[in-house]
Structure 1
Amino acid sequence: MSKRISAKHKIDRRLGVNLWGRPKSPFNKREYGPGQHGQGRRRKPSDFGIQLMAKQRLKGYYGNIGEKQFRKYYDEAVRRRGDTGENLIGLLEHRLDAMIYRAKFVPTVFAARQFVNHGHVLVNGKRVTVPSYVVKIGDVVEVRQKSKELPLVLEAIASSEREIPDYLEVDHKKLAASITRTPKLEDVPYPAQMEPNLVIEFYSR
């Protein structure tokens, strides 16, 4: 399990944003970095530093994506036709754990990864335990019958903290969802500004 899970609130402060828009984020009260020197004077970041921060924000938002896997998403985004930054966002939003989170079946992106890992999710009727599984347009993703009464799921459904984006079709009675189209950056409800163009610049140096 990634160490990032146990320190997820530090990510907000280190990156200087409330990354997931959660009211409990310590960044809401302490808008400076974690640790002894968090309030020290910060130098103006270089172009490299700005690009790196953009990459860390986007990578961090999706919970547990390692550098090697994230680089693969970049390579695939470059290979595809069209705007590379938009392609990157589309690839990330087609991840199974991202879709579970977007559909509000779980309260956090970290919970989404664990939820999939533990076998609570079906794709077209078959159990899938790989968070990075690519959900295709029209695939039916649903919570297993035995998992529908889990407190985690009931809490997420009842929460008014997030809105469901319009590129998803979600039925909370059946706990089923599907992607109707690949979203563009402007369609994705990021609480913090994401700049995939800077991520592309970082990798293409």
Structure 2
Amino acid sequence: MRDKNIFAIRRGLPRMSWTPQNLYNLWRRSCTPFKEEAVFTQSSKTLFQQRWIAKRLTRAYHGDFINEKIFKRWYLPSTLPDVRPRKRDDDDVNLWKWVGQDSKVSKEVRNREEDEKLALAPVASLMYEEVERRIDVFIFRCCFAHSVYEARRLVIHGRVLLNGKKHQNANTRLAPGDMVSVDPKAIRFLQAPPPTPSKEENSEEESQPEGEATKDTKVESKSAPPPSLLHPGLTPFNLPPFAAPFIFIPAYIEVSFETCSAILVRRPTARYNYSEIPSPYDADGEIMRLSWEWYSRVRPRIRGSGEKRGRICPDVRTETRKIPGVERPKKLPAPSVIEGRSLRAQILRNSVGL
């Protein structure tokens, strides 16, 4: 089974989840010798192995439930934004040098260096922009679900509204301005926890016969009120353990926790030393760059409709047009050829206009 034991400690792959096992795997990938597997500065692995390991790590977090073929076909962008600095004209600098204003020359050179530095944004992480627009990933980023798998279950079970209408397709990608609402009754940490009797009470009840009760148990029952009476009229809020590192809202999402709804304000972007796509790996580090190199080499080549079976379309083609009052032919007739001239010569003659 592909999704069995996704939090395996032996593999140590971080996922989109709040579970303590996932937090432990994230800690191992960042602070223990286990992180040396993804450090390629001094590695004996080949370039192919480095790219494959980087792809494996990033895809385990960004859409591991998406089939690889579907991801390359529908979610992988064709290119990334070009943030390389463009060469400027040196006319102003040469003029100031000729005039003798060295202070303006040094100031202009400094400003250009700062502009070039600020233009270098970590764009490698933008390869997963389309994954972040999925409705199940969007719900997880809004902190309405413990994991992206639970968010997917909420969508499929009809607990999510998209722009006020019930939506059950978890593969939908949102557009800027779309509003997603989640049923508060389906959010687990907004429900009161079930009463769980302690082990000492269970052992005491088993040791004592029915109908007998000591004074100590009566005093404890009077002093401890039921959980429903502790905060009457308030919505219960019970976060799972070790959930603090995962509770944050990206900048491109506007969330209203009072109504359990959120709006996708815009697409995620990147600027100098900052990327809006959350990831356990450096937005412009080795892992992200090698992942992009892997997909840039294995991406599917999509051909146009006119390039099927080579450059030249075959003569035998099926007719798909529907003309009223005309019987639909099964096949188009073969092109006519003038005597003494080949088909290629006629095409060249018509294109030149002779």
Q: Shorter-chain TM-score: what band? A: 0.7 to 0.9
**What are the ranges of 5 or more consecutive residues in structure 1 without an aligned counterpart?**
34-42
1:202 paired with 2:299, answer no
Alignment length, in residue pairs? 187
In structure 2, the residue matched to 1:175 is: 260
Structure 1 residue 3: Cα displacement: 3.1
Q: Secondary structure at the match of 2:185?
A: coil
Partner amino acid, structure 1, of 2:278? P
Structure-2 change in CA distance of 1:81 and 1:165 (3 Å): closer
Give the whole-Å Cα distance in 1 for the aligned partners of 2:134 and 2:58.
14
2:281–2:288 CA contact under 8 A, matched in 1: no
Which has the larger Rg?
A: 2
Give the whole-Å Cα distance in 2 for the aligned partners of 1:71 and 1:89.
11
In structure 1, the residue matched to 2:21 is: 24
In structure 1, the residue matched to 2:199 is: none
Could you list the per-position Cα deviations for residues 61-81 of structure 1 after superposition, in whole angstroms to 9, with x for gaps in the alignment? 124111111112455x10x67
In structure 1, the residue matched to 2:184 is: 148
Q: If the length of structure 1 is used for normalisation, what is the TM-score?
A: 0.75
Could you list the per-position Cα deviations for residues 126-160 of structure 1 after superposition, in whole angstroms to 9, with x for gaps in the alignment? 222222211011100111xxx31235252798453
Structure 1 residue 176: Cα displacement: 0.5
In structure 2, the residue matched to 1:38 is: none
Q: How does 1:39-188 map to 2 (within 5 A)?
A: 44-61=44-61, 62-73=63-74, 75=76, 77-78=77-78, 82=81, 85=124, 87-143=126-182, 147-152=183-188, 154=190, 158=239, 160=244, 161-184=246-269, 186-188=275-277
- Which segment drifts farther, 16-25 or 110-119? 16-25
Over aligned residue pairs, what C-alpha RMSD do you find? 3.1
Q: Secondary structure at the match of 1:24?
A: helix
Partner amino acid, structure 2, of 1:114? R
Q: If the length of structure 2 is used for normalisation, what is the TM-score?
A: 0.46
1:190 paired with 2:279, answer yes
Partner amino acid, structure 2, of 1:69? I
Structure 1 residue 116: Cα displacement: 1.5
Give the whole-Å Cα distance in 2 for the aligned partners of 1:66 and 1:157.
34
Give the whole-Å Cα distance in 1 for the aligned partners of 2:80 and 2:277.
20
2:134–2:174 CA contact under 8 A, matched in 1: yes
Structure-2 change in CA distance of 1:115 and 1:13 (3 Å): farther
Structure 1 residue 165: Cα displacement: 1.1
2:75–2:130 CA contact under 8 A, matched in 1: no
Partner amino acid, structure 1, of 2:188? L
**What are the ranges of 5 or more consecutive residues in structure 2 without an aligned counterpart?**
35-42, 83-122, 192-236, 298-354
Structure-2 change in CA distance of 1:85 and 1:130 (3 Å): farther
Give the whole-Å Cα distance in 2 for the aligned partners of 1:176 and 1:70.
28
